[in-house]
Amino acid sequence: MKKLFHLLGVSAVGILSLSLPLRADEGGVSFWLPGQYASFSAIAPTSEWSLPMQTYYYSGSAESTRALTRGNLLSFGLDTDFAAQFLVPTYSPDKQILGARPSLSLALFPGYADTSAVVATELFRQRQSDSVSGFGDLYPTLQLFWNHGTHNWMTYITGDIPVGSYNPNRLSNLGIGHGAVDIGGGYTYMNTKSGWEFSATAGFTYNLENSDTHYQSGIDSHLDLGLSRSLTEQFFVGLVGYAYMQLTPDSGQPPALGDFKSRTFAVGPQIGYTFQAGSRSIFLNLRGYGEFSTKHRPEGGDIFMTINIPLTKGK
């Protein structure tokens, strides 16, 4: 059992340190992707170089009476699908900063988005749809990890570099059109004897103004949770969940929308497996979420399939 948790520590952390885009705030689209952290989020990697990869899919919709601004468009009854393949080269040097192991990563992705909605103008409402494929924004992340027995802590700072495909007059986008900074931390309880693990990661996002629309999303808070139980040396099962709530109102939205604070909650199952490929331990994780109690954003479901490949041996 101790071997399994060691392998998960090597493999899982890189992919869980992603800062990915998707939903809330302006147009129901946020910098932070709820659920990007899950189990083992505060376990330090032991491989210096690794390549976490994550296949992600989201499908959601908004009620016909719910208005969302999409760039320069006011939409109702929005339906959206988003798919992406995230690549996150990660470096964790074998040294300490403030008694913690550091980790640096940069997330990037090719993706596809398809969206339809009733778009309102001064004269009429008309159902429109469009799609886009290409590359999204860039997401650099710095993390620090501490360990004391079964208790593990992590802190991070990440942000959005808005270089992805974005057009304020389009329903579908792969970039969010503005910069953002997110800070937070996490805790993992990991008992290698009993096989139980629990993780919680929380943070806050400050959004910069979108220069194309002069819209600024409010400050967001988020909590990602993971619970797992190892059944064998290689296999575990568990539950995941997230809570996402906007703390301060947006600015620049149509007055009729009010403060436009968004929120969503979700729960779902997860499974994980670790296998050997030569001398390397490859980690796989599949988890899904069903959203509920959503406000001012689409409501639907997420699927994450992650794989992490250590590129150098841990020391």
| Domains of the chain and any CATH numbers | 2-310 (2.40.128.130)
Query: What are φ and ψ of residue 122, in 5° steps?
Result: -65, -25
pTM: 0.87
Residue 11, both tokens: 């493999």
SS3 218: coil
* Interval 156-169: pLDDT, tens: 999 999 999 999 88
* Interval 245-267: pLDDT, tens: 999 988 876 665 666 688 999 99
CB neighbours of residue 22 within 10 Å:
24
| CA pair distance 149, 147, nearest whole angstrom | 6
pLDDT above 60 (res 44): yes
Which residue type is seen at 306?
Answer: T
Q: Which residues of 66-94 are buried (b: 16+ CB within 10 A; e: fewer)?
A: bbbbbbebbbbbbbbbbbbebebebbbee
Ordered alpha helix ranges (H), 40-95:
none
* Interval 105-143: pLDDT, tens: 999 999 999 999 888 776 678 888 999 999 999 999 999
